[in-house]
């Protein structure tokens, strides 16, 4: 939906703006555990992506936004909170990281499905894949940082795209600048440093804030574990099963976060 469509639908009601449709479903499920009536006079709508959430909450005085933390640094989250007080950043990497902790998942599975199954086996099936996905998370962070530097510091590709550049020496100089930003040895060094930093995290912290939750959930939790043990379902179907009656309990790191969001909504609607 566009900004105007959501605004027309909301009227004078406050809006909790999230990134995607699955976020609407999952976060509404967790909001329901905060108590009945939380959604009275408020709409939860998907903007489509993180950038739109950030922009649109600045355009509407009674809208609040929820976005994934991803790999944002503490410094960046503090700055964003100062620049946009109506923006709330999830405690975990993304919404799907609330579907990655073995103990939380196991408790959310229907009892009938767990009959004849063993929690220790279930846990190890998830955790044995963790080192590979920590490595993926480390490289993902390095590449995202490098991409940002390339685009914003080196004007890739706008330096050659925005207007005609016909001077060969200028073209060569621009290309050399881009090439220097993609030095393999430098990137590998940054990757190895990021891996060393990741070693300081506990398994629990890695699953909550380091691995790319959407990819880890789809690839490991769903395809490699849940479907292998309990039968074939899509990632969306597993989310709906786990975020349903007697499903995932409200995580301790999410409850105060959601309370802050609701308090913000109520203050803006007064």
Contact partners, residue 207, CB within 8 Å, separation at least 6: 97, 100, 101, 130, 216
Phi, psi values for residue 264, rounded to 5°: -65, -45
Domains and CATH numbers, the chain: 3-91+254-268 (3.40.50), 102-242 (no CATH)
- Nearest 5°: the CA angle 108, 203, 187 is 125
Q: Is the dihedral of CA 32, 107, 219, 256 positive or negative?
A: positive
* Helix H or strand E segment including 15: strand 15-18
Q: The pTM is what?
A: 0.90
Distance in Å from the first CA to the final CA of the chain = 26
Segment 140-150 shows an average pLDDT of: 91
For 77-120, what is each residue's pLDDT tens digit?
Answer: 888 888 888 999 999 999 999 999 999 999 999 888 899 999 99
Segment 42-65 shows an average pLDDT of: 93
- Residue 270's pLDDT band, with cuts at 50, 70 and 90, is low
- Judge if the upstream peptide bond of residue 157 is cis by omega within 30 degrees of 0: yes
For 194-233, what is each residue's pLDDT tens digit?
Answer: 999 999 999 999 999 999 999 999 999 999 999 999 999 9
For 33-45, what is each residue's pLDDT tens digit?
Answer: 998 889 888 999 9
Q: Using a pLDDT cut of 90, give the percent of the chain over it.
A: 75
Closest CA to 45 of 30, 28, 31: 28
| Res 136: pLDDT | 97
Residue located via tokens 């905060």? 34
Looking at the predicted structure, is the pLDDT value of residue 52 above 90?
Answer: yes
């Amino acid at each position: 939906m566009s900004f105007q469509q959501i605004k027309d639908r909301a009227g004078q009601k406050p809006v909790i703006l999230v990134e995607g449709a699955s976020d609407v479903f999952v976060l509404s499920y967790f909001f329901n555990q905060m108590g009945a009536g939380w959604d009275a006079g408020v709409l939860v709508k998907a903007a489509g992506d993180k950038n739109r959430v950030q922009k649109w909450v600045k355009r509407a005085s009674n809208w609040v936004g929820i976005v994934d933390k991803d790999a944002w640094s503490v410094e960046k989250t503090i700055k964003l909170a100062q620049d946009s007080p109506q923006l709330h950043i999830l405690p975990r990497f993304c919404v799907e990281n609330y579907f990655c902790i073995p103990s939380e998942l196991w408790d959310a599975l229907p009892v009938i499905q767990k009959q004849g199954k063993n929690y220790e086996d279930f846990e190890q099936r998830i955790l044995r894949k963790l080192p590979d996905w920590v490595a993926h998370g480390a490289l993902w962070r390095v590449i995202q940082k490098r991409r940002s530097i390339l685009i914003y510091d080196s004007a890739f590709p706008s330096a050659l795209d925005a207007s005609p550049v016909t001077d060969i020496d200028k073209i060569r100089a621009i290309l050399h600048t881009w090439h220097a930003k993609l030095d393999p040895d430098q990137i590998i060094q940054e990757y190895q440093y990021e891996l060393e930093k990741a070693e300081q995290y506990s398994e629990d912290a890695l699953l909550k804030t380091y691995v790319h939750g959407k990819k880890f959930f789809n690839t490991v939790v769903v395809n490699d574990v849940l479907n292998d043990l309990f039968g074939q379902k899509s990632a969306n179907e597993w989310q709906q099963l786990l975020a349903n009656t007697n499903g995932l309990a409200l995580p301790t790191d999410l409850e105060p976060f959601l309370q802050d969001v609701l308090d913000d909504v109520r203050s803006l609607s007064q």
